[in-house]
Amino acid sequence: MNKLFSRGSDALAMAAIDSGLKFYAGYPITPQNDIPEFLSRELPKVGGTFVQAESEVASINMLLGASSCGFRVMTSSSSPGISLMQEGISYLAGSELPAVIVNVSRWGPGLGGIGASQGDYHQATKGGGHGDYFIPVFAPYSVQEMYDLTVKAFDVADKYRTPALILADVMISLMRETLIRRYPEGIKPPEKSWAFGERKGERQKIIKSLYLKGNELEVHNWKLHKKFEEMKKNEILFDKYLCDDADIIIVAFGMVARVARSTIELARENGLKLGLFRPISLVPYPEEELFSLTKTCKNFFVIEMNTGQMLYDVMRILGRNVNIRFYGKPSSYVPTPDDLFNKAKELFNI
């Protein structure tokens, strides 16, 4: 078969390898172990290095080391492990080092549970780490996107010299469906003249995040902020489905958006015009694109597998002149299309 029938996590790992991954470090945690397991097997075959680190803290810092040498690097973990990486992610951002970080998120807070969850939206998008920075965040909703967005994440990470996050969930990672393994033409890791290579008498290179003199830290912070503004211009990804004539537009990401697509079909069969707006890049968020929908639609239905996190962004973007309703399910029981359809009817009094 030309198409593969692949597990989401394998698709992601394949994309990493196809993107030229040189170094992976990670620490076991359910439900993302398929990724390190795949890479421990496959990465050495293409000359890459797989290290099982002693912890998530060590993992992210190993990435910092390997990335400083100009190679493509990745780690993966799940929610508690991602929390432990926050200092390191902040250092990567501050040191302007590219890296791809994968959060196959599970339930929290604390040990929580291992089911599908969207409880880490805030952490992922509003800097779980300290300091003033944003990193790009992508939320796949299919096995194919696990592949495509990983390729994208490596690309964006290099382009802006920033860590990038894939926010996936159990569902997308463990499920299998068809995958076309398509590493796009034209994507090539850029030359990294800033990185440690062979020195050969060149000027000393210093990679750091400490800025103590004068206002150099302020300059540095605005530089980071400018990257974010650039990303807003160039890296926004989103998906619209039947929004043009919609009376109610569902706003959802990841797994939930996938279910919502079916809900919309179901609703339309029942004469109700639903539409779907799906942010694919959660950072930068497709703000303009979402707001522009208010021209034709006044009802927005935010659905998340949490108690309301992306909701904050949607409220900020849409303002107070439209009708926003929310359905939250902080549970690993993924809602069905029927659930969402019924909720829509209930919340919008139809």
Partner 1 sequence: MKAVYKKPEVLKNPCFHFCPGCHHGTVHKLVAEAIDSLNLKDSALAVIGVGCGVFLYDYLDVDSLEAPHGRGLAVATGVKRVRPERIVFTYQGDGDLASIGMAESVHAANRGENVTVIFVNNTIYGMTGGQMAPTTLLGQVTTTSPYGREFHRDGYPIRMAEMLATLEGVALSARVSVCTPKYLFDAKKIIKKAFEMQLDNMGFTFVEVLSSCPTNWNMSSMDALNRVKEEMIPFFPLGVFKERKMPDVL
Partner 2 sequence: MSSKKSFYIDLVFSGFGGQGILIAGNLLCYSALLDGREVTFFPSYGVEMRGGAANCYVVISDRQIGSPIPSHPEIGMIMSLPALKRFENVIRSGGYLVINSDIISPEEVEREDVNKIFINANSISKDVVGNDRLANMVMLGYIAKRFSVVKKDSLISAIKEVVSEKHKKMIPLNEKAILAGYNLKLT
Ligand X SMILES: Cc1ncc(C[n+]2csc(CCOP(=O)(O)OP(=O)(O)O)c2C)c(N)n1
Report 15-44 residues binding partner 1 (CB under 8 A). Answer: 22-23, 25, 27-30, 33, 36-37, 40-41, 44
Beta carbon of residue 178, minimum distance to partner 2 (angstroms, whole number): 7
Give whichever of 286 and 335 is closer to partner 2, judged by the CB atom.
335
Judged by beta carbon distances under 5 to 8 A according to partner kind, the member of partner 1, ligand X, a copy of itself, none in contact with residue 332 is a copy of itself
How near is the Cβ of 59 to a copy of itself at its closest, in Å? 14
Q: Does 312 bind a copy of itself (CB under 8 A)?
A: yes
- C-alpha to C-alpha distance for 25 and 59, rounded to whole angstroms: 5
Using CB under 8 A as the binding rule, whether residue 206 contacts partner 2 is answered as no
Q: State the nearest-atom distance from the C-beta of 29 to ligand X, in Å.
A: 4
Residue 55 sits in the site that holds partner 2 (CB under 8 A): no
Tell which positions 41-80 bind a copy of itself, by CB under 8 A: 57, 79-80
d(CA 253, CA 137): 12
Q: Cα–Cα distance between 177 and 341 in angstroms, integer?
A: 25
Q: How many CB atoms lie within 10 A of CB 307?
A: 11
Residue in the block written with tokens 């210093």 = 206
Which residues are CB-neighbours of 312 under 8 A, at least 6 positions away?
122
222's contact among partner 1, partner 2, a copy of itself, none, with CB below 5 to 8 A by partner kind, is a copy of itself
Residue from the set 17, 21, 24, 31 that interacts with partner 2 by CB under 8 A: 31
Alpha-carbon gap, residue 305 to 329, rounded angstroms:
4
Is residue 207 close enough to count as binding partner 1 by CB under 8 A? yes
- 325: which DSSP letter? E
Which is nearest to 87 in space by CA: 110, 111, 64?
64
Nearer to partner 1, 61 or 299 (CB): 61
Instruction: Please select the residue that binds partner 2; options are 339, 342, 345, 348, rule is CB under 8 A.
Output: 339
Q: Is 57 helix (H, G, I), strand (E, B) or coil?
A: helix
346 binds, among a copy of itself, partner 1, ligand X, none (CB under 5 to 8 A by kind): none
Helix (H, G, I), strand (E, B) or coil at 287: helix
Give the pairing type, strands 21-26 and 49-52: parallel
37 binds partner 2 (CB under 8 A): no
Q: Which C-beta is closer to a copy of itself: that of 132 or that of 265?
A: 132
> For residue 64, what are the CA distances in angstroms to 11, 18, 60, 61, 74?
24, 21, 6, 5, 10
Residues near partner 2 (CB under 8 A), total: 32
Compute the distance between CA of residue 134 and CA of residue 283 in angstroms, rounded to an integer. Answer: 8
326 vs 300: CA distance, rounded Å:
8
CA distance 13 to 197: 26
Could you say whether residue 218 binds partner 2 (CB under 8 A)?
no
Distance separating alpha carbons of residues 303 and 334, to the nearest angstrom: 11
What residue ranges bind partner 2 (CB under 8 A)?
A: 1, 3, 5, 30-31, 114, 170-171, 174-178, 212, 255, 258-263, 265-266, 269-270, 333-339
What residue ranges bind partner 1 (CB under 8 A)?
A: 22-23, 25, 27-30, 33, 36-37, 40-41, 44, 49-59, 61-69, 71, 73, 80, 87-88, 91, 95, 110-111, 196-201, 204-210
